[in-house]
A and B are shown apart, each in its own frame.
Chain A
Amino acid sequence: MKQIAATAAAFGLVAALATPVLAQDMSANIKARQGQFRILALNLGVLGGMAKGELTYDAAGAQAAADSIVGVSMVHQPTLFVEGTDDMSVEGTRALPVIWENTDDFAAKWAALGEAAKGMQAAAGTSAEAIGAAMGPLGGACKSCHETYRTP
Chain B
Amino acid sequence: MKSLALKGLTALAIVGAAGLYITRPQTVDTDTFAALTPDPAHGAQVFTASGCASCHMAEGSKTPLILSGGQRLASPFGTFVVPNISSDPEAGIGGWTLDQFASAVTKGTSPEGQHYFPAFPYAAYQKMTDQDVVDLWAYMQTLPADQTPSQPHEVGFPFNIRTALGGWKLLFTPKDWVMPADTPQLERGRYLVEAQAHCGECHTPRNTLGGLQHDAWLSGAPDPSGRGKVPDITPATLGWSMGDIAYYLESGFTPDYDSAGGHMAHVVENMAQLSASDREAIAAYLLALPN
Residues of A that sit less than 8 Å from B by CB = 40-42, 44-45, 48, 52, 87, 94, 135-136, 139-140, 142-144, 146-148, 150-152
Interface residue SS majority, chain A: helix
A41-B258 Cα distance, complex, nearest whole Å: 6
Binds A, one of B110-118, B223-231, B276-284: B223-231
**B176: CB under 8 A from chain A?**
no
Interface residues of B in 233-267 (CB under 8 A from A): 243, 247, 251-253, 256-266
Q: Are B265 and A146 in contact (CB under 8 A)?
A: yes
20 new A-B contacts, CB < 8 A, other than A41-B256, A151-B227, are A40-B257, A41-B257, A48-B257, A52-B243, A94-B261, A136-B251, A139-B251, A139-B252, A143-B252, A146-B260, A146-B265, A147-B260, A147-B261, A147-B262, A147-B265, A147-B266, A148-B60, A150-B261, A150-B262, A151-B228
Min CB distance B228 to A, Å, is: 5
A139-B260 Cα distance, complex, nearest whole Å: 9
Smallest Cβ-Cβ distance to A150: which chain B residue: B261
Smallest Cβ-Cβ distance to A140: which chain B residue: B252
Q: Are B264 and A152 in contact (CB under 8 A)?
A: yes
19 contacts between A and B (CB under 8 A): A40-B257, A44-B253, A45-B257, A48-B247, A48-B257, A87-B227, A94-B228, A139-B253, A139-B259, A142-B259, A143-B260, A143-B265, A143-B269, A144-B265, A146-B265, A147-B260, A147-B262, A151-B223, A152-B261
Interface residues of B in 15-59 (CB under 8 A from A): none
In-complex Cβ contact of B252 among A94, A142, A151 (8 A):
A142
**B105: CB under 8 A from chain A?**
no
**B286: CB under 8 A from chain A?**
no
Count of inter-chain pairs, beta carbons less than 8 A: 63
B60 / chain A contacts, CB cutoff of 8 Å: 148
A87-B260 Cα distance, complex, nearest whole Å: 18
Query: Which of A87, A136, A152 is most buried by chain B, counting CB atoms within 10 A of its CB?
Result: A152
**B186: CB under 8 A from chain A?**
no
In-complex Cβ contact of A152 among B230, B243, B251 (8 A):
B230
Min CB distance B225 to A, Å, is: 9
Q: Mark B95-120, 1 if CB is under 8 A from A, else 0.
A: 00000000000000000000000000
Min CB distance B240 to A, Å, is: 14
Listed from nearest, the 9 A-B pairs whose CB atoms lie closest are A152-B262, A146-B261, A147-B265, A142-B259, A41-B257, A44-B257, A143-B265, A150-B261, A139-B251
